[in-house]
Structures are given as C-alpha cells and as structure tokens.
Amino acid sequence: MDVIDRLARNLRRLRQLKGWSQEEFAFRAEIHRTYISDLERGARNPTITVVSRLATALQVPIGDLLD
Amino acid sequence: MDVIDRLARNLRRLRQLKGWSQEEFAFRAEIHRTYISDLERGARNPTITVVSRLATALQVPIGDLLD
DNA sequence: TTGTGACTTCAAGTCCGTT
DNA sequence: CAACGGACTTGAAGTCACA
C-alpha cells in the first residue's frame, strides 16, 4: 500500500473518529469539500502543505497520516 | 517554522549523516539533483509521493522528515 | 452526505546550463 | 560539491454542477 492510500485511510478513520462530515472537516482544514472527498478516495497526490493543514485540523502529528 | 522548513532541515541533516552528496542522494531517491537542492533550501512544496521516496532512501519513517 | 467529471490556473518536477 | 537561473512539460490546487 502506497503513501496515498495510507493517507486516504487515515483521513477517513480519524475524521469519523471525530464525528465530522467531510464538509465540517473541509471547513476546519480550510480545504474544499470535494478535495477532501478526493483525498479520502486516494484520488489525489497532495503537497505537504495540504497534509499539514489536515493534520492540524485533526490535531495529530503529520506522521500519523502518512506513516 | 512551517512544514517546508522542517523538511529542508531534516533532509540536509539526515543526508549529511549518511555522508552523501546531493547528487548521490538524488540518485538513490530517484529525484532530480536540482530538486534536492531546492528542497534543502526550502524553496519547494513537494508532494507526498516525493517525500515518501526521500524517506525510503534515507531509511527513516516519513514522520521523521515532517514532524 | 458523499462521489465524480470537467475545468482553469499555477506550481511541481525535469533538464539544460553557469557561477 | 552546492546554489541558482531559464525554459519546459506534467500534474496538483482549487472550484463547480450534478448524480
């Protein structure tokens, strides 16, 4: 499993753990809702600045999303 | 300090720890020589697939480069 | 509430070189 | 050996309408 799929699974898992919809997550991370959808399906290859915003919104270290 | 600067410092530190030139690092990570130079100077915002290749070459978890 | 195709803008990433 | 510039191609960022 590559890093894009690991990110996808971690995002969905951690978001649901918070009880957030994709829309609420998107708002908190300041990222478009449909982009979150793409990321959770492993359909994008984001830059580290995007991943950093996601990690901040989820309140986890970046490594928790990618390792 | 943002994630790009943290990556820059970690890359240079870990590469030098291995005793590699930028060119040798580039070869091992299958990334262009000039791009490594850019990354170590914090001048680029790489995708996670690139960071993954860098981490693999350095034999460290991705989190060690970004957290 | 989420998935998806389509789209534009701009940066990621490569390759040539010189300092 | 590393910094840096210019020119280039590819692909990410960001958004929308609609299923």
pLDDT tens digits along B12-52: 999 999 999 999 999 999 999 999 999 999 999 999 999 99
Domain boundaries, chain A: 3-57
Q: Which nucleotide is closest to A32, CA to C1'? A: D14
The position carrying tokens 């960071």 is B51
Contact by Cβ (8 Å): A7, A39:
yes
CB of residue B47 closer than 7 A to nucleic acid strand D? yes
Residues 27-66 of A with CB under 8 A from B: 45-49, 51-52, 61-64, 66
* pTM of the complete model: 0.94
B44 touches strand C (CB under 7 A): yes
Statement: the CB of A48 is under 7 Å from strand D: no
Give residue B45's pLDDT: 98
Asked if residue B16 lies in contact with residue B40, where contact means CB atoms within 8 angstroms, the answer is: no
Looking at the DSSP assignment, which residues form a beta bridge with residue A11? none
CATH no. for A3-57: 1.10.260.40
What pLDDT band is residue A8 in, cutting at 50, 70 and 90?
Answer: very high
DSSP per-residue codes, B22-58: HHHHHHHHT--HHHHHHHHTT----BHHHHHHHHHHH
Distance CA A52, CA B53 (A): 18
